[in-house]
Amino acid sequence: MSSELRYTANTQLEHLHARYTGTGHADLTKYEWLTHQHRDTLSSIVGHPPLLSYLAIADGEAVGRVKFEMTERMLQPCGPPPAKEE
């Protein structure tokens, strides 16, 4: 019975990872995880107009300007990637 439950849990987990790219996996580095989190947050702000308007008012900028800056920041939200170890 436990092997069936384990198989079902693994299948569900694999389906979750295939469907949602930001859910991570065992080989995910801290930088990659943080980048996913920042991109998800930025895309959520850009995708919800009331939240975008709130940030534009708080910054004293135009809504279009804040949207542009958020989409630009999505390219490398956490700066350049760290050097890979060989």
Residues near 85 by beta carbon (within 8 Å), at least 6 away in sequence = none
Residues near 81 by beta carbon (within 8 Å), at least 6 away in sequence = 31
What is the structure's pLDDT at 29?
Answer: 86
Residue 43, CB-side half-sphere exposure with 13 Å CA sphere: 9
What is the structure's pLDDT at 1?
Answer: 52
Q: Where are the domains of the chain?
A: 30-74
What is the structure's pLDDT at 33?
Answer: 87
What is the structure's pLDDT at 21?
Answer: 67
Q: What is the pLDDT of residues 25-35, one digit of tens each?
A: 777 888 888 99
Q: What is the pLDDT of residues 15-60, one digit of tens each?
A: 777 777 666 677 788 888 899 899 999 999 999 999 999 999 999 9
